[in-house]
Structure 1
Amino acid sequence: MPGLLLFLVSLDFFSAGSAAQTPLQVFAVAGEAVVLPCSLWNRALFDDSPTVEWTRADLKPKAALVYRDNSEVFEMKHQHFEFRTSLFHSEVKDGNVSLRISDVQLSDAGMFHCLKIPMEDARDRIENSTVELVVALNPNIAVISFGDEKMVVECEARCWQTKPQMKILDDQGRTLIGEEMQTEDPGGCSTIKQRVTLQCSAQSRRIFCRVEFPQFNQSRATQILIPGKVFRLSPNKKKLLTF
């Protein structure tokens, strides 16, 4: 499935009468598409058109998607997910009831529940699983100040639910050591910044910002091109001029 990001950490398997285990975690970056995995464990309990409900308990209405009688029940879907959630309809009959979310948003993060309701004579064997969606923003890199033949480059990773490892690298792949800062808003959203001071150079060069999540085996990177011999300071040393 091109363009989709999927990483499994652990799986939540439970049904009626059993205890919940650690939920599966899926990592996504805002603006991308992601798949929350879910499948029918005991295929014999379901016909070719199973009833499936994807929900988030903190929403009202709580449905991210409801599937019944071979089609979605659009009027039950929370407007936050309107036109953004779907199943792989051709694969439902084979037991794949994974949820696809397009144009992922930071507010999509949270615990999703996949409820699979079997045929009428097996309603006491409802299958339920939980998937936690972790959402982050791509990092940003910029020159934030310069003067006296030096400049300060800042790498920023905004609103990460889990603190990433951050590196600023030169165009030779060498790590540049800088000052790191972290802030956190009341909702638990962390912003990480790292700043390095560089000497101005006559040669153009690229500086890279990379954030890594070892627990998800994921990383994201961005870069900035710093031209050589094109910057100078205005007389008051507060305005960047280019020519």
Structure 2
Amino acid sequence: MASIGEIIFWSMIVLIFVCAGLIILLLAIAFSVSKGTVESSNPFPVGNLGEDVILECMFLSKSGSGSGSGSISGSNVLITWEKESLTGLVYQYNNNAAQLQQQNSQFSDRVQLFTDAIASGNASLLMRSVRTVDQGVYHCSVSAPGVSGTASIDLRVTVYSAPNFTISKNGLIAEAPRWQSRPNVTWLDKNGMQLNSNTQFTSISSDIVQVVSNLSGPLTSAEIYTCSIKNSFIQSISEVTGDGILKNSYFVTSSSPEMLPLRLLSTVSFLFYFLVW
């Protein structure tokens, strides 16, 4: 049986290790903050096949420079865009100029930065005429005075379009010129109740279709009806009156359900490691 002295001794040892772990954790957090931040407010963008897309990446230095809070010299900024499982770089900027010696040919003459906005913390990448092969995870790395870090952006590529509305003898017709993979189409009334409708798909090419959906009447001219067209990546939401007047139309992109648990697990593991160590 351990003596009181031994219990006190080992209790102190455990306490010392726990305190040391907490100190290291605080230092790690402080170091991270001192290095500024690199992040994206849209980590799961959806590109529309054949159209331009922006992969957003912003950086903020520890001194408040960048991201709209003052400015830094472009000559001191190194921005590197990479894509997972791809040889070569997507794009690199250094010494106030593009450095494309290691650029993968897939992105030749198709990507660029907003160079006039770099000094204010904008490292976003403009990608022109997005292709299916462009889909994947990209890493935006920034090294500048007071900031060093990387943001990840998961680009998904699909085909989508907002519908046009016309009045028919039987009700409303929504016609969207192109969608991928036969999207799910629903109509809702002002109370969110699903309404009876008939949707037809006309093949355009491969798995791209034209969508024509008919909402049967009788309809009320003053009431708002909601038409939703959705595939696994994006949803088109349109609000239209019974007499065909469009009141509101917008897109909602889906986020990856897998990323949050993985990041949460990494954070918990990190905390547990330092507390136990």
Task: Name the TM-score, length of structure 1 as normaliser.
Answer: 0.51
Q: Among 64, 80, 84, which residue is 2:106 paired with?
A: 80
CA distance in 1, matches of 2:41, 2:83: 17
| Consecutive aligned runs of 4 or more in structure 1 exceeding 4 Å deviation | 20-23, 190-196, 213-220
Aligned residue among 223, 230, 247 for 1:212: 230
- Where 1:96 maps in the other structure, the secondary structure is coil
The separation in 1 between residues aligned to 2:135 and 2:74, in whole angstroms, is: 31
| 1:23–1:129 Cα contact (<8 Å) kept | no
Matched, 1:99 2:105: no
Contact 1:213–1:219 (8 Å) recurs in 2: no
CA RMSD of aligned residues (A): 4.6
Residue 158 of structure 1 deviates from its aligned partner by 3.1
Evaluate the alpha carbon distance shift between residue 194 and residue 100 of structure 1 in structure 2; reply closer, same or farther with a 3 A threshold.
closer
Q: Secondary structure at the match of 1:55?
A: strand
Q: Which residue of 1 aligns with 2:90?
A: 64
| CA deviation string 1:186-241 (max 9, x = no partner) | xxxx8889899xxxxxxxxxxxx973369855469xxxxxxxxxxxxxxxxxxxxx
* Structure of higher CA gyration radius: 2
Deviations 1:130-156 (A, max 9, x none): 1111110247xxxxxxxxxxxxxxx97
> What does 1:16-55 align with in structure 2 at a 5 Å threshold?
24-42=43-61, 44=63, 47-49=73-75, 50-55=77-82
| Alpha-carbon separation, structure 2, partners of 1:21 and 1:64 | 17
1:186-201 superposed matches below 5 A: none
Relative to structure 1, is the Cα distance of residues 75 and 30 closer, same or farther in structure 2, using a 3 angstrom cutoff? same
Larger % of helix: which?
2
Question: 1:219 and 1:31 mapped to 2: Cα distance?
Answer: 22
CA distance in 2, matches of 1:41, 1:175: 51
| Superposition deviation, residue 25 in structure 1 | 0.7
Counterpart in 2 of 1:127?
149
Work out the number of aligned pairs and report it.
162
Report the CA distance shift for 1:218/1:67 in structure 2 as closer, same or farther (over 3 A): farther
Mapped to 2, the partners of 1:219 and 1:80 lie a distance apart of: 33
Q: Which has the higher strand share?
A: 1
- Listed as ranges, the matches of 1:179-190 within 5 Å are none
Residues 1:158 and 2:185 aligned together = no
